[in-house]
Amino acid sequence: MRRESSIHGQWSSKLVFVLAATGSAVGLGNIWRFPYIAGENGGGAFVLIYLACILLIGLPIMMAEIALGRRGRQSPINTMATLAREEGLHRAWGLVGWLGVTAGFIILSYYSVIAGWSLSYVFRAASGAFAGLDGEGVKNLFEGLVSDPERLLAWHTLFMLMNILVVARGVRSGLEKAVKFLMPALLGMLLILVGYAMTQGHFMQGFAFMFRPDFSQVTGDTILLAMGQAFFTLSLGMGAIMIYGSYLSSRASIFKTSATVVSADTAVALLAGLAIFPIVFASGLEPGAGPGLIFITLPMAFGEMTGGLLFGTLFFLLLVTAAWTSSISLMEPAVAWLVENRGLDRPLAAMIVGGIAWFLGIGTILSFSLWSNPIGFNLTLGGESLFIGGTLFDMADYLTSNIMLPLGGLLIALFVGWRMNRRSVEEELGLRSRVFFKAWYHVLRFAAPIGILLIFLKAVNLI
């Protein structure tokens, strides 16, 4: 029997789902993570591979994830278990849900810390702290923040409380307004910044950095990082989009909604890059400056431009909002599971999930001060010695984005593409055009899983 809704409720319209899913996708991943990872990996070639991953792996898997969620109508753990049972498959498929929930905790733990940086920058911008700063000045300002664990803990705690508050009341409340007004505002701010970068920055150099590929620099790791970024930015592979799909009405078109979300997300990331790299080159900063990249480039722009005080405050406020609408989706799968299987009420479930992630986040906070020395070991593979490890933040980020999310995505592609009855899949997708369904189905069965596997093998130098 088809389930028409979940016990957690339903989006009031298809538009709300698109807004919620866009809210989940667009976040720190686009504005903070994309530019810094692209910057560390040489730009152009990375960006091109990232775009290919979005299209060939991300979009088809997003459609599969939404279809699974809508068919199962429960938390990802129970959805996977129920669908496996219905399709006569092994119970072990439920582990996909567990993998996702685990990844969600780890991502949320550091996501909240970085969102805390953004919160702190709202107040710095508003107090005029950026005025007249040069490259050295902005770097010092940033260092001053991240080397102070107590301050980071306070911001991290505040942001986590903001998440618990929303998730406790149900992700629908407030989300509609937040996304409908604030997302366009964020886009507007980014356009202003791109405009600034065009006139004041080294725009052509920044543009070339982002779009002129130099494949000689590409290693297996570059490709893995590009794929990891594609999963991260689209919120794929951990059940966030699956659970949002479980609140979607049976009539909405999965393809159209996915295409909208993917386009909006990609546009925001590319605009962020176009705003940031011209400023990097004009001010003699390094594109490979790491996780602090936007926090040292954008304040220079705001410190200099007319209206920078207002624009800067607004920008970081919007960044916090974007992060907020993303991080609630990281909590939702675990919270829904606690409600379904442990009978907790939402507020308590939200507090437990937020509390655990909050605690784990301390590891990230200290990764920038007390525990900033990388830990790990040297591995010799094919005559090449390489260091495996990093700070707790590095490891949390690498493990989730580059391994757990693609692995989750791979399993979802295999489940929907190879194990589920084709008729069930066709029914759920409800694509009117057969040709179109076939195209998607083929990409999901072949291109996406083979792509992920090849990238995994390449990353460990096996091919």
Binding site for ligand TRP (CB under 6 A): 24-25, 27-30, 107, 232-233, 235, 238, 240, 326, 329-330, 405
d(CA 294, CA 309): 17
Query: Least distance to ligand TRP from the beta carbon of 137, Å?
Result: 28
Q: Which is nearer to ligand TRP, 65 or 428 (CB)?
A: 65
Tokens of 154: 């306070």
Query: Under a CB-based contact definition with an 8 Å cutoff, are residues 257 and 59 in contact?
Result: no
Q: Which is nearer to ligand TRP, 24 or 367 (CB)?
A: 24
Q: What angle do CA 238, 8, 106 make, to 5 degrees?
A: 25
Q: Which is nearer to ligand TRP, 67 or 404 (CB)?
A: 404
Q: Which is nearer to ligand TRP, 49 or 405 (CB)?
A: 405
d(CA 146, CA 165): 26
d(CA 221, CA 223): 5
Query: Under a CB-based contact definition with an 8 Å cutoff, are residues 336 and 75 in contact?
Result: yes
Query: Under a CB-based contact definition with an 8 Å cutoff, are residues 286 and 136 in contact?
Result: no
Q: Which is nearer to ligand TRP, 222 or 235 (CB)?
A: 235
d(CA 399, CA 106): 9
Q: Burial of 175 by CB count in 10 Å (0-12 exposed, 13-18 middle, 19+ buried)?
A: buried
Q: Which is nearer to ligand TRP, 141 or 230 (CB)?
A: 230
Q: Which is nearer to ligand TRP, 260 or 369 (CB)?
A: 260
Q: What angle do CA 136, 140, 142 make, to 5 degrees?
A: 120
Q: Burial of 326 by CB count in 10 Å (0-12 exposed, 13-18 middle, 19+ buried)?
A: buried
- Residue number of the CB atom closest to ligand TRP: 29
Residue 162: closest CA among 323, 349, 344: 323
Q: Burial of 403 by CB count in 10 Å (0-12 exposed, 13-18 middle, 19+ buried)?
A: middle
Query: Least distance to ligand TRP from the beta carbon of 328, Å?
Result: 8
Query: Under a CB-based contact definition with an 8 Å cutoff, are residues 404 and 238 in contact?
Result: yes
Tokens of 459: 């990353």
Query: Least distance to ligand TRP from the beta carbon of 405, Å?
Result: 6
Query: Least distance to ligand TRP from the beta carbon of 341, Å?
Result: 21
Residue type for 32, please? W
d(CA 237, CA 58): 9
Side-chain-side CA neighbours of residue 362 (13 Å)? 6
DSSP 388-429: EEE-HHHHHHHIIIIIIHHHHHHHHHHIIIIIS-HHHHHHHH
d(CA 462, CA 7): 46
DSSP 351-386: HHHHHHHHHHHHHHHHTTTTT-S-EEEEEEETTEEE
Q: Which is nearer to ligand TRP, 308 or 409 (CB)?
A: 409
Query: Least distance to ligand TRP from the beta carbon of 197, Å?
Result: 21
Query: Least distance to ligand TRP from the beta carbon of 404, Å?
Result: 9
Query: Least distance to ligand TRP from the beta carbon of 213, Å?
Result: 23
Query: Least distance to ligand TRP from the beta carbon of 231, Å?
Result: 6
Query: Least distance to ligand TRP from the beta carbon of 326, Å?
Result: 4
Q: Which is nearer to ligand TRP, 141 or 234 (CB)?
A: 234
Q: Which is nearer to ligand TRP, 76 or 299 (CB)?
A: 76
Q: Which is nearer to ligand TRP, 81 or 108 (CB)?
A: 108
Query: Least distance to ligand TRP from the beta carbon of 30, Å?
Result: 5
Query: Least distance to ligand TRP from the beta carbon of 229, Å?
Result: 9
Q: Which is nearer to ligand TRP, 78 or 326 (CB)?
A: 326
Tokens of 92: 């072990």
Query: Least distance to ligand TRP from the beta carbon of 394, Å?
Result: 17
